[in-house]
């Protein structure tokens, strides 16, 4: 937080972008659920903005364009922890811009991925399934060092969940923003950003 907030503010100000920063923190006690936290952030703002940037806090922009895009756009294309290249052709995580209309159309992220990984694969698959075009910008991000705890059993379970969702996507997407449940436990407003603690 101490590194990310001033860094992102400096970057956005330099690009003359009007912004609001919302940090969503998960209450301790359950495995991490990135997709559900991103949905909670969108829902908390009641979808009032033209577009959203869903941003991992451990990625600092080195060279990145945060300007408006009319379709879901991946920014984390060159990341230090991935040796400055994409870890996979369909990688759509880390930092993503979403126009409001597209995000609502795909019903946001899935709420069903607990632990590290796969929620970004799912959101990309939702776009493909509904025929929503996606794009990439050539951007670079420094990786802040921290423990990355990946539990193999959780990751494999998430892969199985993704496979089952793929099989059901032809019948329509029935899970995401519409099924989101969370509780805001605490709200702190600072000069440059707002932080909420949520129970999911």
Q: What is the model's pLDDT at position 148?
A: 67
Q: What are the tokens at 98? A: 């979403």
Q: What is the model's pLDDT at position 151?
A: 72
Q: How far apart are CA 125 and CA 172, in angstroms?
A: 12
- Strands 183-189 and 135-136, by their bridges, are unpaired
Least confident of 52-56, 136-140, 173-177: 173-177
Alpha-carbon torsion, ordered 26, 30, 33, 39, to 10 deg: -50
Q: What are the tokens at 92? A: 């759509």
Q: What is the model's pLDDT at position 46?
A: 87
**Which residues partner with 61 through β-bridges?**
141
Rounded to 5 degrees, what angle do the CA atoms 119, 85, 146 make?
60
Where along the chain do its domains lie? 4-199
Per-residue pLDDT averaged across 43-69, rounded?
95
Q: What is the model's pLDDT at position 117?
A: 79
Q: What is the model's pLDDT at position 62?
A: 97
Q: In this predicted model, what pLDDT tens digit does every residue of 86-130 receive, in sequence order? A: 988 889 999 999 999 999 999 999 999 998 878 999 999 999 988
What's the CATH superfamily of 4-199? Answer: Spore Coat Polysaccharide Biosynthesis Protein SpsA; Chain A (3.90.550.10)
Residue 49, class by beta-carbon neighbours within 10 Å (0-12 exposed, 13-18 middle, 19+ buried)? middle
Q: In this predicted model, what pLDDT tens digit does every residue of 141-198 receive, in sequence order? A: 999 987 767 677 787 887 787 877 666 665 567 789 999 999 999 999 999 999 999 9
Which of 82, 97, 125 lies closest to 38 in space, CA to CA?
A: 97
For the entire predicted model, the pTM comes to 0.91
């Amino acid at each position: 937080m101490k590194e990310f907030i001033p860094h992102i503010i400096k970057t956005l100000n330099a690009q003359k972008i009007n912004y609001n920063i919302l940090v969503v923190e998960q209450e301790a006690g359950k495995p991490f659920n990135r997709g559900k936290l991103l949905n909670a952030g969108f829902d908390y703002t009641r979808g009032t903005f033209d577009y959203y940037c869903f941003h991992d806090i451990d990625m600092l922009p080195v060279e990145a364009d945060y300007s408006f895009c009319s379709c879901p756009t991946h920014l984390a294309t060159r990341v230090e922890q991935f040796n400055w290249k994409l870890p996979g052709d369909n990688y759509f995580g880390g930092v993503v811009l979403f126009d409001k209309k597209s995000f609502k159309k795909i019903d946001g992220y899935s709420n069903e991925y607990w632990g590290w990984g796969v929620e970004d694969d799912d959101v990309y698959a939702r776009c493909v399934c509904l025929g929503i075009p996606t794009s990439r910008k050539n951007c670079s991000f420094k990786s802040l060092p921290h423990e990355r705890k990946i539990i193999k059993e959780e990751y494999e379970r998430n892969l199985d969940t993704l496979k089952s969702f793929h099989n059901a996507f032809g019948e329509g997407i029935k899970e995401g923003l519409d099924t989101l449940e969370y509780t805001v436990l605490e709200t702190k407003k600072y000069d440059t950003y707002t932080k909420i603690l949520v129970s999911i």
